[in-house]
Amino acid sequence: MGIYLNPDNEGFLTAVRSEIYVDKTGLIEYTNKCLNTEQKYICVSRPRRFGKSMALNMLAAYYSRGCDSKELFEDFKVRKHQSFGEHLNKYDVIFLNMQHFLLRTRKQEVPEYLEQVVINEIREEYGDLFSKQETSLVYILERIYVRTKKKFIFLIDEWDCVMREKQELEEIQIQYLNFLFSLLKDQTYVALDYMTGILPIKKYGVHSALNMFGEYSMINQKALEKYTGFTESEVKELCVQYDMDFIETSSWYDGYTFRKFKHIYNPKSVVEAMSCQDFSNYWTSTEVYDALKSYIDMDFDGLRENIVQMIGGGQVRVDTRSFRNDMRNFETKDDVLTLLIHLGYLAYDAEIMEAFIPNKEIIEEFETAMRVRGWPEVMNVLKASEKLLEDTISCNEEGVARGLDRAHMEVASILTYNDENSLGAAIGLAYYSARKDYRLVREMPTGYGFADVIFLPLPHTKRPAMVIELKYDKTAETAIKQIKDKKYMQALEGYVGEVLLVGVNYDRVDKTHSCVIEKVYAI
C-alpha cells in the first residue's frame, strides 16, 4: 500500500461516510468492460465540482491490491454485477494527481519528479526486478510485465493542469504530453487508463496528442452520461429525503443535457443545498472560473450578442470542432463558447448543436462577471426588470410597452432584432428579475405548437403564471389570439391559479412595442 502505487480505499471511504453519497458505482461495470481491450484508454473531462476525483477514489478502492474493499462495496449497485468479484482488488494501481506534482516541482519538470517518486514506491514492491540506478519509469514497468505478466491500472487526476496553468509555455506542454504518450501508448503493461480533467485532450493542428484515448466530455459524455452529475431521479429522492422542493432545486442546479439523460444536475451544489437546507449559489470561484470575466469580454464578432441572447434565456448555435482544447488559443467566438461549455458555464445540446446557460446558479455568475467587466447597457436592463415585472403583474399594458422600448434601446448596440427568436431573447433579458420567482421556459411545447416564453412560478411565491407570445410587425392582439387558438394554456398542465396571457408586438418602422394582457385562471 502506498501513495502512488496501490493506494488504500480511504478516499472512497470518506465519500461513503459523508452525509450524502449518491451511488455511482455502476461506473465500475463500464470500466470492467474496457479492461484489456482497445477501449482501455478513457479520458473524462468535466467541470470542477462534478465528482471527477471521487470517481477516481472509487476506482482505486475497487481495483487496488493495496486494500480489501469487499465489505465497502457490499451495499452498492456494483455488487450485483457479474464482473464484481473478478477484478476486485486484483490489480496494481498507479494513482497520479498531476496537480500535486505540478505544485511540488520547482527546478524539476513534472515528468522528471513524477518518475522519481513513483519509482521509489515501485522499488519497494518490485526492486529485485530492475537495477537501483534505473530512472526510466517506462523501462521499469516493461521489465515488471515481462517478468511477472502483471498489468497496471493508471488513474490520473487533473491530467490537464499543465495545459491550464502553463498556458504560455507550449514547450513544457509538449514535453508533458510526450511523456504521457510514451508512458501509456501501446504499452502491454496497461490494463486500463482512466484519466480526468476539465479540458479534453490537447490538440496541435487537427490532431490529438494522445489519440488512443476515447474522450467523454461535456460535448458528449457517451456511455458515461448518468455518471456526469446527479440524474433527475437521484435528485428527486434527495428532495424527498431532505424535504426540499424539487421544482426549485431544478431551477437552481439542473440544465446540463445529453442525448439520453436530458436533466443532469450539478452534484456538489445539490449536496450543499440539501445539507444547508437553503437554495443559493454554491459555485466556488477558482482561478479557472474567475476567468469568465475575461472570456465573455473577448473581441470576437458576435460573442457579446450570443452572451446576451443566452442571458435572455435563448440558445445559440456553436461549432465545437475547431476548439484546440486549451485556454489560450482562440480563433473564433465558437472557441470561446466551447471552452465555457467545458468549464460548466454553458450547457450544450449536441443534437441541435446549441449552447445555453443551464440554470439560476450559473446565470448569477454571468451577472457578476458583467458587472465587474462593465456591460452598462445590459446591467441597466437587468436593474429595470423588476419594474417591468410589476407592471406586467398589475396588467399595466402601456407600462410594459414603455419598459420593453427602454430595454430595446439599451441593448440595441449588442442585440439586433431580426426575427422573433432575437425578440424572445430580448424579452427574456428584460424580465431577468422574474427568475427569482419563476422558471423561464423558451418555446415550451403546448397543444398545437410552441409558446414563445412561459414563466412558471416557483412554489410559495404566490405569483401568477405568465404565457408570453411575441410578434414581429403584426399586432399584440394577434399574439393573444394565437395563445388561445393554439391552446398554449395546456403547457401549464398541473398548475392551478391565475395566468396572465401577454401578447407583445414589435413594430420595425416605429421601433416600438405594443402589449395586450389578459387575466385568466387555470383550474
DSSP for 276-324, please give it.
HT---------TTGGGHHHHTT---TTHHHHHHHHHTT--EE---TT--
275 and 383 belong to one structural domain? no
Does a structural domain hold residue 204? yes
Contact 256, 358 (CB under 8 A): yes
pLDDT at residue 448 above 50? no
Are 173 and 297 in a shared domain? no
Domain CATH code at residue 504: 3.40.1350
pLDDT value, residue 106: 66
pLDDT of residue 208: 63
pLDDT in tens, 93-117: 999 999 998 888 765 688 899 999 9
- Under DSSP, is residue 85 helix (H, G, I), strand (E, B) or coil? helix
Write down the pLDDT at residue 107: 54
pLDDT of 316 over the 80 cut:
yes
Residue where a domain terminates, one of 160, 190, 216: 216
445: which residues sit within 8 A by CB, 6+ positions away? 491
- Domain end marker among 302, 329, 360: 360
Q: How would you list the strands of the sheet with 214-216, edge to edge?
A: 92-97, 152-157, 190-197, 41-45, 214-216
Count of the separate structural domains present in the chain: 3
Indicate whether 187 and 276 sit together in one domain.
Answer: no
Residues spanned by the domain of 511: 375-522
Residue 392: what residue type?
Answer: T
Residues 62-99: tens digit of each pLDDT: 999 999 999 999 999 999 998 999 999 999 999 999 99
Band (419; pLDDT cuts 50, 70, 90) = low
Which residues are within 8 A (CB) of 182 and not within 5 positions of it... i.e. 6 or more apart? 138
Average pLDDT of the segment spanning 454-467:
88
At residue 451, the pLDDT reads 53
Whether residues 136 and 244 fall in one domain: no
Lowest mean pLDDT segment, chosen from 29-43, 323-337, 438-452 = 438-452
Helix 303-311, helix 360-373: angle, nearest 10: 140
Is residue 29 in some structural domain?
yes
Mean pLDDT for 23-28 is 97
CA–CA distance, 475 with 465 (Å, rounded to integer): 22
The answer to the question of residue 1 being in a domain is no
pLDDT at 206: 47
Tens of pLDDT, residues 185-197:
999 999 999 999 9
Quick one: what percent of the chain has pLDDT higher than 90? 64
Looking at the domain assignment, is residue 67 inside a domain? Answer: yes
Q: In this model, does residue 306 exceed pLDDT 80? A: yes
Q: Are residues 51 and 199 in the same domain?
A: yes
3 in a structural domain: no
The answer on 344 and 299 residing in a single domain is: yes
Choose among 352, 502, 508: nearest CA to 430.
Answer: 502
Task: Say if residues 168 and 328 touch (Cβ distance below 8 Å).
Answer: yes
Are 55 and 27 members of one domain?
A: yes
Residues above pLDDT 70, as percent of the chain: 94
Does residue 418 have a pLDDT over 80? no
In a domain, 2, yes or no: no
One domain, residues 179 and 266: no
Q: Are residues 283 and 390 in the same domain?
A: no
Cell of 88: 476486485
175 and 272 in a single domain? The answer is: no
State whether 192 and 130 are in the same domain: yes
The domain boundary, picked from 216, 238, 264, lies at 216
pLDDT for res 60: 98
Is the pLDDT at 235 greater than 90? The verdict is yes
**In this model, does residue 289 exceed pLDDT 90?**
no
What single letter denotes the amino acid at residue 367?
E
State residue 325 phi and psi, 5-degree precision.
60, 40
pLDDT tens for residues 378-393? 999 999 999 999 999 9
Lowest-confidence region among 27-31, 161-165, 499-503: 161-165
The pLDDT value given to residue 446: 43
Task: Give the CATH number of the domain where residue 196 resides.
Answer: 3.40.50
pLDDT tens column, 197-219: 999 987 655 456 788 999 999 99
Weakest-pLDDT range from 163-172, 282-291, 378-387, 409-418:
282-291
Are 182 and 262 members of one domain?
no
Could you tell me the pLDDT band of residue 447, with boundaries at 50, 70 and 90?
very low
Q: What's the pLDDT score for residue 204?
A: 58
- Answer whether residue 35 is part of any domain: yes
Dump pLDDT digits (tens) for 351-367.
999 999 999 999 999 98
Q: What is the pLDDT of residue 281?
A: 92
- So what's the pLDDT on residue 444? 45
Residue 43 in domain: yes
Q: How far is CA 57 from CA 7, 60, 96, 156, 419, in A?
A: 9, 5, 11, 11, 50
Rounded to the nearest integer, the mean pLDDT of the chain is 90
